[in-house]
A and B are shown apart, each in its own frame.
Chain A
Amino acid sequence: MRKLFSQKDRRFGFLPGRHRQPDLPDELWEKCAGCGEMIYLAEFEQNAHVCPKCGYHARLSARKRVALLLDPDSFEERDAAMRSEDVLAFERPERSYEQKLADEAEKAGLPEAVIYGAGKIRGEPVVLAVIDTNFFMATMGSVVGEKITRAIELATESRTPLVIVSASAGARMEEGMFSLMQMAKTSAALARLHEAGVLYVSVLTDPTLAGVTASFATLADVIIAEPQATIGFTGPRLIEQITHAKLPAGTHSAEFMLERGMVDCIVPRGDLQQTLARLMSMYGNRQPAPAADTPRPVETAP
């Protein structure tokens, strides 16, 4: 599904480098994918990639997201070097999967599409995982699933609130069924986190689709979405391909999903840290869960 986001389309976000006007020095200006205005790059950076003119939320790298959310120098990253393997010896056109991974790593400056670790938000401990769309459109293979699962287990064992900032075009084809099974693995780990009574806040950013939405990204106590983020299972362009019909504008947006009851709130990037801190301070100090041998009450069928 990642090819759906590789072309120019304002619905799918800000694609740096593609919208520059030739008559302006490249390194100083960025054209906003929301309003088309030219933004002074320094101002764009300072504003965490949100257009100061129209409020459009362009994509943000995982490193910048960590810097935005966590207290300075509080991030203790884990498993930073974990890499994918070509476990299926997947035959693909042009480049081998290994070569593709190397190219993506160079482009994104990361060995895989997710980083995680322990840190602090306004002095309070948190386990944070952030997915980066610059690496292979943030597709989920074994490494994304494994690092997300380790983040969930770290939060569960240390009884620390968990925040995952999600984005993804879906499962990574090159790892076949191992990719699909990451949905099962992360969901099973979250079931245990919830049994232990630990808070999980999911932040959906542009785009969060397919297998990631249908697993850990939505199994949260609170689901926050970024303004205008594309969210769903089958993405808008794929639906158009299948139905041979144009969709109305705005389907799959965070606002569309809020209206249909699928997310709790839409929080602008500048307010995200404060909202997380508030939720953690009110939800984060729960008494320890009952002993493990107490059977959980049978859920009444909906």
Chain B
Amino acid sequence: MAYEFEQPLVDLRARIDSLESERKNGKPDDAGPELQELRAELARQTTDVFAQLSPWDRVQLARHPQRPRTLDYIRSAFTDFVELHGDRRHGDDLAVVGGPARLNDMPVMVIGHQKGKDAKDNQRRNFGMAHPEGFRKARRLMLQAEKFGLPLVTLLDIPGASPFLADEERGQAWAIAENLQTMSRLRTPIVVTVIGEGGSGGALALGIGDRVLMLEHSMYSVASPEGAASIVWKDAKFAPEAAKSLRPFADDLANLGIIHRIVPEPAGGAHVDPRGAAQLLKTALVEELAALQELPLPKLIDRRYGFYRSLGVVAP
């Protein structure tokens, strides 16, 4: 599937692909110049299209159904991943995944929200909307990271915490709050990356760290644009207006000092080249972790407090 704004790019890519496969199938090589021209055209049009995206297009891009998910990044950028399940209290929430893995030989704990790949997967994973037991599983793994001295890497991609009565009964708010407190003092370096949709408190519950990164086309918002529109405009159909006002994109939040670094994506977005996107993320994570490991732990934790303490704008 493709959004309207990326349709011309999708068509161009299809033509390039078919010419390439013709060449592979041993057809006489008269497509060379045409291919070159098409590739140049694709690069030009990609730049144009992405320069003109509306805020609402950018929301769609962050939510793109083909965007790589946490497990895709774990498979491509990490090795030796051992997925650990369950919160030891209630159950196993498939909307949160995690476990130890290696990043360039270095053992780390990696935890992320996991949206589904298709309708069936989304049903199992509650469309990525984590339950309290998902946040509690994450907290269990964070404490393991601290115990065994593994740096913590978290990947954020959640429409919002699961909003149903059963979640209320199991203490959704309590589970999120505990994670905020635990992460703010966890005695190991933490690098947070928003890879898709950073939806509100459910995103923040895996989102306290020493360095906060966002992929170029991800978003991170206090509420979904639909939710904000129904509160401020009293009607969810004003979501595109809310998407503009909320300033939820990586460049907005870097300018506001709420995130530290933007991780570039391959031209056309991470979904066009998932392996390339994983490589770019890996490079950023390796750099960030190396820098954090230079700092003694007490200094790291003081600095982490200082960062969150400084967020907010008030008139005295």
Contacts and interface: CB of A to CB of B under 8 A. Distances in A.
Interface stretch (B14-22, B35-43, B163-171): B163-171
Contact of B201 (A82, A142, A183, A242): A183
Interface residues of A, number: 73
A252 B223 CA distance: 21
A264 B20 CA distance: 67
A273 B7 CA distance: 65
Interface string B296-314: 0010000011001101111
A196 interface: no
A188 B174 contact: no
Interface in B123-181: 136, 139-140, 143-144, 146-147, 161, 163-165, 167-174, 176-178, 180-181
B163 A210 contact: no
Interface stretch (A49-57, A232-240, A281-289): A232-240
Contact of B165 (A190, A218, A251, A301): A251
Q: Interface extent on B, as a size class?
A: 35 or more
Interface stretch (B60-68, B71-79, B104-112, B243-251): B243-251
Interface string A37-71: 00000000000000000000000000000000000
Interface stretch (B46-54, B231-239, B262-270): B231-239
A219 B228 CA distance: 26
A88 B200 CA distance: 17
Interface string A116-142: 000000000000000000000000011
B185 interface: yes
A90 B238 CA distance: 14
A81 B316 contact: yes
B253 interface: yes
Interface string A289-302: 00001011011111
B221 A214 contact: no
Given A171-B223, A215-B180, A218-B177, A233 B308 contact: no
Main secondary structure of the interface of B (DSSP, over half): helix
A92 B223 CA distance: 15
Interface in A202-234: 210-211, 213-219, 232-234
Interface in A54-103: 79, 81-85, 87-88, 90-93
A184 B174 contact: no
Interface in B206-264: 207-208, 220-223, 228, 230-234, 238, 241-242, 244-248, 253, 256, 258
B9 interface: no
Nearest to A87: B313
A179 interface: yes
17 contacts: A3-B230, A87-B256, A91-B241, A91-B244, A145-B312, A176-B222, A182-B312, A187-B208, A188-B181, A191-B181, A191-B184, A210-B173, A215-B176, A238-B163, A300-B143, A301-B88, A301-B144
